[in-house]
């Protein structure tokens, strides 16, 4: 009875983060993964990390900071920290006008060139969250190549910082909400309905390989095979300009000449990179690495 009572008290206690603790923790997070937490999002650390402190029996955020930096258990805590601070919102067929440009212009152009060069296609989905983006790309590849898919050498490399989202992506089982902007005929063609869930079909899964990569780690990024197309949508929005420049420059290096970079609708390379040529389409700007 006594232990239940003390638990209630500790759960009810609000853990506040001081300005100094916030600045230290923010610096540490930035150092590790390039995500910059603005001042007005201080509450995010306070709210989302409070439970971690309680679990680890730490009395304040200063202790948590030292734990992350120096404790032998820090590697597994770092993974948990990444899970807490990342925003993983995503969906299938996210931003349909942009994907229409991808299907009708970008991918069509890339396939035309690749057709006479060994039928090899490499696409990178960086910051893929729970898999909706790379699977959407795989579906669109199937839509264009149809029964020819098997005659091509295709790989969609899908990476994220968070192990938890990757685990879910590998399962490939989704709810109706994440399919809300997906055409119904696509759902029936590429998913198996199971009770209230939808399982992605094996032929779509087969083209995608998931793995953990931190976009703040240039060495890890260099290991990704060179691509004709890179998707990095709704990811750089969480980075400061310096980190954006480093990531975009790594994408530039990874892309083959004539390759395309596709970023989020609300993101821009303005003041970040002049290396790419922006191509304006109705409803989308696509960035091209010139030949
Ligand atoms: C909002 S989701 C976007 C998902 C998908 N690209 C889309 O547009 O629907 C952002 C993803 O970027 C990942 N992310 C953030 N920082 C990262 C980093 N440094 N390295 C790799 N992935 C990162 C997050 O874990 C999260 O899953």
Q: Which two tokens stand for residue 199?
A: 């399982």
Burial degree of 247 (CB within 10 A; 0-12, 13-18, 19+) = buried
Contact criterion met (CB below 8 Å) for 214 and 223: no
Distance 237 CA to ligand 1 centre (A): 9
Residue whose CA lies nearest to ligand 1 atom number 27: 129
Closest atom of ligand 1 relative to the 33 alpha carbon: 19
What are the residues whose beta carbons fall under 8 Å from the beta carbon of 218, sequence distance 6 or more?
Answer: 246, 250
- What is the per-residue pLDDT for 72? 87
Q: Which residues line ligand 1 (CB under 6 A)?
A: 33-35, 86-90, 94, 127-129, 133, 160-162, 165, 213-216, 233-235, 238, 264
Q: Which domains does the chain have, with CATH numbers?
A: 2-85 (1.10.155.10), 96-288 (3.40.50.150)
Mutate to test the pocket of ligand 1, among 83, 89, 129, 156 (most ligand atoms within 8 A of CB): 129
Contact criterion met (CB below 8 Å) for 214 and 33: yes
Distance 159 CA to ligand 1 centre (A): 8
Distance 216 CA to ligand 1 centre (A): 12
Contact criterion met (CB below 8 Å) for 187 and 91: no
Residue whose CA lies nearest to ligand 1 atom number 8: 233
What are the residues whose beta carbons fall under 8 Å from the beta carbon of 94, sequence distance 6 or more?
Answer: 132, 133, 136, 181, 233, 234
CA 47 to chain centre: 23
DSSP for 170-215, please give it: HHTEE-GGGGTTS-HHHHHHHEEEETTEEEEPHHHHTTEEEEE--T
| 79 membership: H or E segment, kind and range | helix 74-85
Tell which residue, 105, 212, 93, 208, has the closest CA to residue 164: 212
SS (H, E, C) 248-282: HHHHHHHEEEEEEEEECCCCCCCCCCCCCEEEEEC
Q: Which two tokens stand for residue 49?
A: 């990390």
- What is the per-residue pLDDT for 225? 98
- What is the per-residue pLDDT for 13? 61
Per-residue pLDDT of the chain (291 residues; tens, 9 = 90+): 333 333 333 444 678 999 999 999 999 999 999 999 999 999 989 999 999 999 999 999 999 999 999 998 889 999 999 999 999 999 999 999 999 999 999 999 999 999 999 999 999 999 999 999 999 999 999 999 999 999 999 999 999 999 999 999 999 999 999 999 999 999 999 999 999 999 999 999 999 999 999 999 999 999 999 999 999 999 999 999 999 999 999 999 999 999 999 999 999 999 999 999 999 999 899 999 998
Report the distance separating Cα 140 and Cα 144, nearest Å: 6
Length, in residues, of the chain = 291
């Amino acid at each position: 009875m006594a232990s239940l009572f003390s638990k209630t008290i500790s759960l009810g206690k609000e853990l506040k983060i001081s300005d100094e603790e916030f600045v230290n923790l923010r610096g540490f997070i930035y150092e590790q993964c390039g995500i910059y937490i603005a001042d007005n999002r201080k509450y995010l650390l306070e709210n989302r990390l409070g439970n971690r402190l309680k679990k680890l029996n730490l009395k304040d955020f200063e202790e948590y900071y030292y734990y992350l930096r120096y404790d032998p258990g820090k590697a597994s805590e770092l993974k948990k920290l990444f899970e807490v601070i990342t925003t993983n919102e995503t969906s299938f067929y996210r931003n349909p006008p942009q994907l229409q440009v991808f299907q009708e212009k970008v991918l069509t152009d890339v396939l035309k060139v690749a057709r006479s060069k060994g039928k090899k296609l490499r696409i990178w989905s960086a910051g893929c969250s729970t898999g909706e983006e790379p699977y959407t790309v795989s579906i669109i590849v199937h839509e264009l190549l149809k029964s020819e898919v098997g005659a091509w050498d295709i790989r969609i490399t899908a990476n994220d910082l968070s192990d938890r989202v990757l685990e879910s992506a590998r399962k490939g089982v989704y709810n109706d909400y994440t399919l809300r902007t997906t055409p119904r005929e696509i759902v029936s063609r590429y998913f198996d309905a199971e009770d209230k869930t939808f399982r992605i079909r094996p032929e779509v899964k087969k083209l995608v390989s998931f793995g953990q990569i931190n976009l703040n780690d240039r060495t890890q990024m260099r290991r990704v095979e060179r691509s004709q197309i890179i998707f990095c949508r709704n990811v750089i929005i969480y980075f400061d300009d310096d980190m954006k420049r480093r990531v975009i420059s790594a994408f530039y290096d990874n892309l083959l000449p004539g390759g395309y970079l596709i970023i989020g609708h609300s993101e821009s390379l303005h003041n970040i990179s002049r290396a790419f040529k922006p191509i304006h389409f109705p409803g989308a700007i696509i960035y091209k690495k010139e030949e």
